[in-house]
Each structure stands twice: as C-alpha cells, then as structure tokens.
With several copies, the nearest count.
Chain A
Amino acid sequence: MINKVVNNADEAIADIPDNATLMLGGFGLCGIPENCIAALVKKGVKGLTCISNNAGVDDFGIGLMLKTRQVKKMISSYVGENAEFERQLLSGELEVDLIPQGTLAERIRAGGAGIPAFYTPAGFGTEVAEGKEVREFNGKMYLLESWLQADFAIVKAWKGDKAGNLIFKGTARNFNPMMATAGKITIAEVEELVEVGELDPNHIHTPGIFVQRIFQGVNYEKRIEQRTTKIK
C-alpha cells in the first residue's frame, strides 16, 4: 500500500500552489478542515478559488483566508454570516459564484462520479438560469448544470484509517463525502486516525480510494455559530 499518511496539515498542503482550485468541506463551521485552513493561512498561498458551501465567519473558517486576501473567487451557496465577505463582494474585490445548495452538492458529486453535466429544476426562471441551457422533461423545466472538480479537495472526518477510509459524525458529514470524490488530490484531516482494519467496512462513508493524504488533526475548536439550548 502506498503510504497516505502525512504528519500534519503543513505537510498535507505543502504543494498547493497559488491560483489552485480548492474544495473545502463543511456546512457553516460544522465539519470544516480547521487544521488545513490554518496551514493555508500560514503558508500564505494566494489567488485561490474556493468551492465551499459557506465562507466561514469573520474570524474563523474560510473567513480567515478572506481576511488575508488569499481568495480570488468563492463558489458557494450561502455566505450570510461573514461581513468581510460581503464587503469584498460588494466592492468587487472578490469574485463570487452563488449556486443553489443542492445544485452545488450535485455538481460536486458529478465531478467525482464522471458525469460532466445533468439537468436540475433548481433556479429555472431565476437569474441562476442566465446563459444556461433549458430543457423540458415531462412538462417541467430544467437547467443543464456541469460538474465541478478541484485541484485539491480538503475534507474533515471524524475517524479515518491509514488506507484513507473515512467515517463522519452527525451533520459534520454534509459536503465532505462528495468533495472527497472530486479532488485530483484529496486531503482528509480526521479527529482520530486508526489502523487499517479498525473500521467496520459497512460503516465507512468514504472509501479510501478517494483519499490520497490523511492525517490526525489537532486542537479542534469546533466553534458553534448558533448555540441554542432547550428553554427550561
């Protein structure tokens, strides 16, 4: 088996060049690759195109990379929690491609699954449809949407083994499994890295074939955006 294990985030992202296209897993701040984001900020790589459902918050997640102006373009579905993002967008400093969330998820899955294009109803009749092929099936209108792929997909899992098999926890799964399939190089950071054979084959969410590099991350903050508890 080729060794997929790297020591840490710095090593995992060492060869990501300026102007690369990255996918970054997570929904809000849930299930984001915290270690790799920190390493990308430290490395100072620039001109990135980031495909991620959200753009973090001002001082965490992808927000950290926006602050340092490392991101040239964001491809996201919802960026509402980030004032710096909105400022850069409205001022024209940041290119943004806003995509319906289901279309984003499916375009990434298609990228990993070798499907160059598919039809979806989301966005028909809206500005999302501008310039896109429209087609009727069984009396309903659909848009043609193309796959998304990335130079590097960076995902966060709960457990992983040295063969690259991944298991996610709770709703931290979100975009991570599809992104893992759609990177030319897929980097997985996990909370717990175990030996091959420790994960039940029937519980694995992402088969190791999709993962090229894996490491056990450290110091997960797991910030909560809307801490909401039961009213007593």
Chain B
Amino acid sequence: MPLDKIGIAKRIAQEVQDGTYINLGIGIPTLVANFIPEHINVVLQSENGLLGIGPFPEEEEVDADLINAGKQTVTTLPGSSLFSSAESFAMIRGGHVDLTILGAMEVSENGDIANWKIPGKMVKGMGGAMDLVASAENIIVAMQHRSRSGESKLLKECTLPITGIRCVKKIVTDLAVLDVLPEGGFKLLERAPGVSVEEIKEATSGRLIIEGEIPEMKLN
C-alpha cells in the first residue's frame, strides 16, 4: 500500500545522519523532524534566521517573534542561535548545511527539480528553494510519486519551470525510494510495503533502473 505523508516522513528520517545540520522545507519535510531517532542528534536550520529549531510551543509559550520558514510558531533549544536572512543564506550558499529535504512538483532523471511555479495558475514565488537547491551538498526530495491527476512526477525532463538543475540526489515517494544517478536515471532502491516493482514502473515516466531484488522499506 502506498505510504501516507507520515510514512514518507518516517522513511526519510532514516536518511538523517548524526551530527548534521539540516534544512527542512514546508510540508512533508517539516514532519521528518518528528521521526528522527532519539540517538541521532541533528540541528535544524530555518532560513528565516534560526539554527536549532525546537518543538512547537505550548499554548502559553507562543511567541509571534519566533517562527519557522513555514510561518509556524516554534521554540528555541539550548544551543540555538538567531541571525539575519543574509547570514542565513550565507550559511546555506556557503555549503554549511549538510542536507536539504524539500518537496517537489516534478523531478527529472538528471536531478532537475521543479517546485515553484505553474505558469498562468500558481505564482507563489520560489522563496529560498532556488538558493537551497543550488547550494546544498545533499538534497532529498519528499513527494507523491504521481500528481493528483495520476501523472508521473518522475520524468525524463521537467515540464514546469525548474527550480534548479542536476541537484536532487534521492527521492522518497509514497511508492519508492530512488537515487538519482550522476549519469542520469532513477535507480530503484526500495519499494513501499506491499507495492510491486510493476506498479513503480508504471508510475515512473523517466528512466527507471532496476537491478536485482528490490527490498521493501522497513518502517517502524
């Protein structure tokens, strides 16, 4: 059965390495923070100027002057630091953030990502996404494998205006975990529990590389 959002977040949480600095995008990526194992210590960066995002506040702790990049109220933690947007993106652009997890509307088989604009329909702006994808060493995309209308979001080439080129390293969808190979192509690594390779093939429009047995994801 395809994963729900929580499932995708849980699977991505397994990718998170101890002692790293991570930027989580809005939506599923933000949920990832809830599933990082206790023994894995990471520091979450919010591009609006906070390093060390704490949990959501208690009702009485809510502070309008302390929000994350999704405009949600948050808290600080011991060891947190605050800074300006220029310093925040200096941090991002300078390659100091180890991992970026973000959502996407489309990913191409060479790692291009589109997630900021649907011409004539949706104009919200790119926010920090273009800076993040142009700068991060390691980028994981969290998304549904297919659009609401059933079209594959893993394509040979993106059809929407792109956010960045050749930058996505890994994709976790409701159906599968895939690496984007440096030479191009989606390499299938894991299947969602109960999802067949055949289903993933059907849902993937770009070049899918399948080698040997494809194990099922292990989720707690």
A102 contact set on B, CB distance < 8 A: 47, 85, 88-89, 92-93, 128, 130-131, 135
Asked whether, in the complex, the Cβ of A128 is within 8 Å of the Cβ of B86, the reply is: no
Q: Does B59 interact with chain A (Cβ within 8 Å)?
A: yes
Q: Does B163 interact with chain A (Cβ within 8 Å)?
A: yes
Binds A, one of B3-11, B38-46, B145-153, B185-193: B38-46
A121 contact set on B, CB distance < 8 A: 93, 134-135
Q: Does B138 interact with chain A (Cβ within 8 Å)?
A: no
Closest to B97 in A: A209
- Tell me the smallest distance from the CB of B158 to a CB of chain A, in Å: 10
Residue in A104, A195, A205, A227 whose beta carbon sits within 8 Å of that of B73 in the complex: A227
Residue in B19, B58, B71, B88 whose beta carbon sits within 8 Å of that of A30 in the complex: B71
Cα of A117 to Cα of B43 in the assembled complex, Å: 29
The interface on chain B, measured as residues whose beta carbon lies within 8 A of the other chain's beta carbons, has a size of 70
A196 contact set on B, CB distance < 8 A: 78-79
- Tell me the smallest distance from the CB of A48 to a CB of chain B, in Å: 19
Q: Does A126 interact with chain B (Cβ within 8 Å)?
A: yes
Q: Does A113 interact with chain B (Cβ within 8 Å)?
A: yes
Cα of A123 to Cα of B131 in the assembled complex, Å: 7
| Contacts known (A113-B94, A114-B93); A101 close to B85, Cβ less than 8 A | yes
| Contacts known (A1-B19, A101-B47, A230-B56); A223 close to B64, Cβ less than 8 A | yes
Cα of A104 to Cα of B85 in the assembled complex, Å: 9
Q: Which of B56-87 contact A (CB under 8 A)?
A: 56-59, 62-68, 70-74, 76-87
Asked whether, in the complex, the Cβ of A30 is within 8 Å of the Cβ of B65, the reply is: yes
- Tell me the smallest distance from the CB of B133 to a CB of chain A, in Å: 8
Closest to A1 in B: B41
B71 contact set on A, CB distance < 8 A: 28-30, 81, 224-226
Asked whether, in the complex, the Cβ of A27 is within 8 Å of the Cβ of B85, the reply is: yes
Q: Does B104 interact with chain A (Cβ within 8 Å)?
A: no
Q: Which of B166-190 contact A (CB under 8 A)?
A: none
Asked whether, in the complex, the Cβ of B93 is within 8 Å of the Cβ of A171, the reply is: no
Asked whether, in the complex, the Cβ of B19 is within 8 Å of the Cβ of A2, the reply is: yes
22 A/B residue pairs, CB under 8 Å, sorted by A: A53-B85, A76-B125, A77-B126, A90-B123, A100-B130, A100-B131, A102-B130, A102-B131, A106-B90, A114-B92, A120-B134, A121-B93, A124-B164, A171-B48, A177-B86, A178-B85, A178-B86, A196-B78, A197-B79, A226-B71, A228-B73, A229-B57
Known: A101-B127, A128-B126, A170-B50. 12 other contacts (CB 8 A): A1-B41, A30-B48, A80-B124, A100-B129, A101-B126, A122-B131, A126-B162, A163-B79, A173-B82, A174-B85, A225-B71, A228-B56
